[in-house]
Amino acid sequence: MNDVIVKNVGRSPKLDLVVSRLELSHTLKNPTGKERRLAKALSKVTDKYDLILIDCAPTESILTDAAYHASRYALVPVKPEFLATIGLPLLARSIQEFNFENGDHALDICGIVFNHSASYSDGPEGKQSIREVQGEAKKNGWHVFDTHVRYSRSYAKAAREGTPIGSTSYARWDVSREFSRFVDEFMAAVGLPTGKTP
C-alpha cells in the first residue's frame, strides 16, 4: 500500500493521496471477493492517519461497495435540486441493505451537505428542494450540515494547480472561509478536532 501513496500533496505536509484511475472499474468486472480489497489495503496504514477520505461516484457499483466496506461513515453531498430528492431514498435503501448483509461492519451517514449551489438555489425551486431533502433526512435520522459549499470556479482551478482552496491563486476569501467552516463541522461530526473557523 505504501508504494502507491503520494506524500504531501499540494505542498501540504498533512495531506497524502492515493490516485485512482478510470481503468479501475474495468479490473473489477468480476467482483467476487474484490469488494473487500480496499478495506484490507487501507487497514495496513490506518494507524498513520487521523482521517481517510474515499471519493466515489454516487451510483451503486462494485466501487461503491468497496468504499462502504472500507468506511465507518458516509458523507452525502447533495445539489439542491429535484433529482437529489429522488436519489436520497435510494441511498438510504443501499446503506440499509449493506448493513443488513454485512453484520460485521457498521456504516452510518455522518451527514448531508448541500454543495454546488448557486444564486438560483435561493429561489423557489432551490428552497423547495432543500426542504424536501431536509424532510428525507429527518425521516432517516440524518444530520444536515449548516454550511452550504457553494459553487466556485476556484474549485476547478485548485484541482488544476494542485493546491488547497485557501492557497489557490485568486480564490475569494469568502469561498475559502465557507469551505473551512464546513470542514470544521464535518470534523466535529466524526469526532475529530476542529480548527474552529470563525
| Domain-wise residue ranges, the chain | 35-69
Residues near 158 by Cβ (< 8 Å), separated by ≥ 6?
164, 165, 168, 171
What is the pLDDT averaged over residues 9-20? 70
Give the model's confidence band at 92: pLDDT under 50 very low, under 70 low, under 90 confident, else very high. confident
CA-closest candidate to residue 152, choices 166, 136, 133: 166
Task: Measure the CA–CA gap between 164 and 157, rounded to whole angstroms.
Answer: 10
Task: Measure the CA–CA gap between 90 and 157, rounded to whole angstroms.
Answer: 32
Task: Measure the CA–CA gap between 99 and 38, rounded to whole angstroms.
Answer: 18
Give the model's confidence band at 75: pLDDT under 50 very low, under 70 low, under 90 confident, else very high. very high
CA-closest candidate to residue 80, choices 33, 18, 132, 10: 132
Task: Measure the CA–CA gap between 41 and 35, rounded to whole angstroms.
Answer: 11
Task: Measure the CA–CA gap between 160 and 37, rounded to whole angstroms.
Answer: 30
Residue 147 · residue 113 · CB < 8 Å: yes
Q: Is 151 exposed, middle or buried (0-12, 13-18, 19+ CB in 10 A)?
A: middle
Question: Tens digit of pLDDT for each residue in 135-190?
Answer: 989 988 999 999 988 888 888 888 888 777 777 887 788 888 888 899 999 999 99
